[in-house]
Amino acid sequence: MSTNAKGNNRFGNIKTMIYGRTAVIMLGFLAQLVLLIVAFYWLRDYSYFFYLAFLIISGVAVIHIFNARSNPDMKLAWMFPIAIFPVFGAIFYTAIVTQPGSKVLYGRLQKIAQNTKDYVKPRAESREKLWQENHHMGQLAHYLEQYDNSPVYENTRVEYYRLGDEQFPAMIEELKKAEKFIFMEFFIVSNGKMLETILEVLREKAKQGVEVRFLYDGTNVLWNLPSFFPKLMEEEGIRCRMFSPIKPVFSPHYNNRDHRKILVVDGRVAFTGGINIADEYINQKVRFGHWKDVGLKLTGDAVERMTFMFLELWAESEKQTEDYGKYVCPADASQPGDGYVIPYSVCPLGPERVGERIYLDIINTAHTYVHIMTPYLILDHQMMMALCFAAKRGVEVKIIMPHIPDKKYAFLLAKTYYNELLEAGVKIYEYKPGFVHAKLFVADDVKAVVGTVNLDYRSLYHHFECGALLYRNSQIKAMEEDVQETLGKCIEMSVEDYKKLKLRERFLGMIMRVVAPLM
């Protein structure tokens, strides 16, 4: 029997296996909840001491919340469960802030990042040149270099894809050219045409001696892939890891998911954007209507950062460090200059909210327009004020959202922000053919971001993310053209539209907004 046939046989009852494991995990979580309730009733005979102890814990938690260096919306959101459920709310908050696993992971990632600094060095000449062209962009480049180890690159060619349907053939073409290594990292990986086509190429490349590494988020074990998927890949010669696998034991660190999408080939070519490995992303499977997504291909010097971005998170699961020298971008990979590119990463465990700060910077420095595509609109106070102020000072702010949502609750929550934005002059559109999964910012024909960062708390505060910031690159024009074409397929929202929602839907959205920062 061929290896491929063997793999297909093992996938035969994939849904049964996945749902069976998901049931075990859910039962594990439920058992822990039951134990908490039983412990509560067991201790009720000591209710006075019990109540006093948790009153003290709640008081300490409130003091800690007010003094924490965190977003004010987060602080306010934590007050709700502590006030309504003083016992469990305080326990939950304490478990989150004292989570040792997250602190250990952050320390390890910081150490790994120090090692990669030997290979991803500052580009002082390019940064100085950018500084001369635009002082503010030079400052932003300095910030990203200092706090994210993300230099500014020239000598990079960028290609923009308006749909996953367009990006997928380009990915396969580049995979087939691989001679040294292939690095793949995705949030969603689901069985289907897209995955099988990719795996067919990866198997062949592994046989040819190409080093292939495949990293995906552990939540896939709940819905998309069997738990033995990494073992299956290893048998094919493909090194495979799950990031933070889900187990039947409750842990707050499960909240920090790997939401990035990265493909690197030979250190010469890299892809990023919103496109995962599942058939709906290339419109081979209909989910929520037509699937609108976007992506980028980078060719040249900027691939260096994408390569080491992948290696940093991959190394988190390794027992020992490795020599990264062989993964350095080849000297002959440079392309003719076309503006500036800064690939960047977002780590949810440290103090720097890189993804949000880049978005805020684009909004706050826009002169003429800011056009945005995002699947979710769950905004903190800073982002809401920045969007409203930009519109009030005469900047054309347009946001494209889905008309057919993938998550009903997130859509109802987003609607609660519509009227405040609309009344400030922000224009909101919904993509009538279906679902928008793109994460795109375009401003003034000179700045743009394509990546994985949504306009919601999960992306801005809880997930590992990535993206590419472009300045004066020729593909920015193509991005704006795509925005204009997409607007032609949209419905413009008005203040009256919110009033058309059923009362229970509006009420549900308002309730969810209270705890949105914790979702």
* Cβ neighbours around 333 below 10 Å, total: 19
- The answer to whether residues 289 and 434 touch, using CB atoms and an 8 Å cutoff, is yes
pLDDT single digits (tens) 124-146? 999 999 999 999 999 999 999 99
Secondary structure in 3-state letters for 276-341: CECHHHHCCCCCCCEEECCEEEEEECCHHHHHHHHHHHHHHHCCCCCCCHHHCCCHHHCCCCCCEE
DSSP string covering 134-171: -HHHHHHHHHHHHHH----B-SEEEEEESSHHHHHHHH
Q: Report the C-alpha gap between 450 and 438 in whole angstroms.
A: 8
- Can you give the pTM of this predicted structure? 0.88
Confidence band, pLDDT 50/70/90 cuts, at residue 103: confident
**Residues for the chain: how many in total?**
519
- Yes or no: say if 426 and 454 are a contact pair by the CB < 8 Å rule: no
Pick from 31-40, 77-86, 175-184, 380-389: least confident: 31-40
pLDDT of res. 252 = 62
Average pLDDT over residues 261-285: 97
pLDDT-based confidence at 329, cuts 50/70/90?
confident
- In whole angstroms, give the CA distance from residue 275 to residue 281: 6
Is 387 in contact with 397 (CB distance < 8 Å)?
yes
Q: What is the mean pLDDT of the chain?
A: 87
């465990």: which residue's tokens? 349
Which pLDDT does position 1 carry in this prediction? Answer: 34
Quick check: 383 pLDDT over 60?
A: yes
**Is 8's pLDDT higher than 50?**
no
Three-state secondary-structure class, residue 12: coil
Q: What is the pLDDT of residue 5?
A: 44
Q: Is the pLDDT of residue 30 over 70?
A: no
Question: Model confidence over 421-451: pLDDT tens digits?
Answer: 999 999 999 999 999 999 999 999 999 999 9
pLDDT at 222: 83
- Give pairs for 391-395: CB < 8 Å, separation 24+: 391/421, 391/424, 391/425, 391/426, 392/424, 392/425, 395/366, 395/367, 395/368, 395/369, 395/370
For residue 378, give both structure tokens: 């769950």
Task: Name the percent of the chain in helix, strand, coil, to the closest 5.
Answer: 55, 20, 30
pLDDT of residue 465: 98
Give the max Cα distance, the chain. Answer: 76
In percent, the amount of the chain with pLDDT more than 70 equals: 86
Both tokens of 458, joined, read 């999960």
Task: Judge whether residue 10 has pLDDT over 90.
Answer: no
Alpha helices in 85-241 (DSSP H): 86-97, 100-116, 124-133, 135-148, 164-177, 193-207, 220-223, 229-235
The span from the CA of 180 to the CA of 327, in Å, is: 9
Q: What domains does the chain contain, in order, with CATH numbers?
A: 3-98 (no CATH), 354-518 (3.30.870.10)
Task: Indicate the SS3 state at residue 122.
Answer: coil
Q: In whole angstroms, how far apart are CA 386 and each of 224, 395, 425, 494?
A: 38, 11, 12, 20
- Per-residue model confidence (pLDDT) at position 463: 95
206-257 pLDDT, tens digit each: 999 999 999 999 999 888 898 899 999 999 999 999 998 877 666 666 688 9
C-alpha closest to that of 418 among 294, 505, 518:
505
Q: How confident is the model at residue 515 (pLDDT cuts 50, 70, 90)?
A: confident
Q: How far is CA 185 from CA 70, 96, 328, 342, in A?
A: 29, 27, 18, 19
pLDDT reported for residue 27: 61
Residue 3 has pLDDT above 50, yes or no: no
